[in-house]
Amino acid sequence: MEKKVWPGDSDEEHPEVFTKIPPQPKTKKPGQLTKEQLEQFFNEGYVIINDFFDIEKDLEPLRRNIDDLVDHVANKLYNGGKIKSLYKEFGFHERMAKLEEEFPGANVIFFKLGELPQAARGLWTNPRLLNIVEQLLGTQNIVGNPVWNLRPKTPNNEITDVPWHQDSGYMDSNSYKILIPTAWIPLLDATYENGCLQMVKGGHRLGKIASHQCCYGDTWYITLEKEEIERTLGADMERDVMTCPVKYGGFVLFNNMIPHRSLCNTSSEIRWSMDLRWQRADVPDGFYGLKAPIEMRREGQEDIDINWTAFDSVNRNIVSMHDNENIDDEFDTTMHGPWMDRWEINNKNRHTEARAKVLNAGQP
């Protein structure tokens, strides 16, 4: 029987985009990758950068911003009669988990806020980080991809366990052809126990998208079967899976074509992390035209006036759903979007049903 082709499937291969090191800057700049790190990124698809950030200057302010956002969610739930306590006695490592225990889906409410904290803006435009991005993209004309995430990975919670996937599986077809590097930044030591990342080393080398399915468990996540990774991407799942623990102050740098996942958090504390993405300014945005990328650096002008107001005016997590019925329901814990339309729905759940209802109503 002929295999069914889904809208997200493609036979296109662009290995040179993801394996060929572009021309490097002529000037040595702070933070740049070493020759060995650069080679690992393009050969293996990822590299771990240790001791990169100034913890007190770059990361601790973001943790304080997160505390404020969690407090906002707690008050929203409390004032809405969804929880009986604000759990103010708990801090950065536990409070969100307490909210989730009393109101399953508090994580989703947090995720839907779509609010980019001030410290996260500074992190995204960190000059040393942009110097690395310049190396990877081969240009100073850099924009931030609109897909960024601030993630609370609460203990033993399926909805925070992201299964095997390629980032391009969530993006539109233009992302097959362009490099979109991601910096995955943990806000505490990321370990095997609290759910660090795993990468399929070399799974990016064909520059090819594998066939994903939707959706994993009771989540909105697409997923890649191990057999599909081996069959389509030529990986050996016994040999090529690499676990990536990272100390606080470091990060994992990877491309949008390498299969990866996060492990279950079996610890007693929340594993917070932030993922940030960039791309060349002269390519399509990679997320269905729903939210424009944001210019961060241009040729000959590294320090530019960034238009955060325009960027902040569109909440990607809301516009991606086009769900007029639930748009005013601040306690709706379903998530859906156009990535679901690209892949086989092999597991229906409340998230896929919400998407189907929107599509059946004739919305985009």
CATH number at residue 226: 2.60.120.620
* Residue 107 counted as domain residue: yes
Position 231 in a domain: yes
Q: How do residues 234-293 score in pLDDT, each as one tens digit?
A: 999 999 999 999 999 999 999 999 999 999 999 999 999 999 999 999 987 768 988 999
| Within a domain: 344 | no
pLDDT at 94 over 80: yes
Q: How many domains does the chain have?
A: 1
The reply to whether 328 falls in a domain is: no
Q: What average pLDDT score do residues 199-208 get? A: 98
- How confident is the model at residue 146, as a pLDDT? 94
What digits encode the pLDDT tens for the residues 236-253?
Answer: 999 999 999 999 999 999
Indicate whether 363 belongs to any domain: no
Percent above pLDDT 90 for the chain = 86
To which residue do tokens 């924009």 refer? 143
In SS3 terms, the chain reads as CCCCCCCCCCCCCCHHHHHCCCCCCCCCCCCCCCHHHHHHHHHHCEEEECCCCCHHHHHHHHHHHHHHHHHHHHHHHHHCCCCCCCCCCCCCCCHHHHHHHHCCCHHHHHHHCCCCCHHHHHHHCCHHHHHHHHHHHCCCCEEECCCCEEEEECCCCHHHCCCCECHHHCCCHHHHCCCCCEEEEECCCECCCCCCEEEECCCCCCCCCCCCEECCCCCCCEECCHHHHHHHHCCCCCCCEEEECECECEEEEECCCCCEEECCCCCCCCEEEEEEEEEECCCCCCCCCCCCCEEEEECCECCCCCCHHHHHCCCHHHHCCCCCCCCCCCCCCCCCCHHHHHCEECCCCHHHHHHHHHHHCCCC
Please check whether residue 297 lies inside any domain of the structure: yes
- Stretch 35-63: mean pLDDT: 98
Confidence grade of residue 302 (pLDDT, cut at 50, 70, 90): confident
How many CB atoms neighbour CB 85 within 10 A? 13
Structural domain of 249: 15-313
User: Domain for residue 337, yes or no?
Assistant: no
Q: What is the mean pLDDT of residues 307-325?
A: 82
Q: Provide the whole-model pTM.
A: 0.96
Is the predicted pLDDT of residue 364 greater than 70, yes or no? no
Within a domain: 343 = no
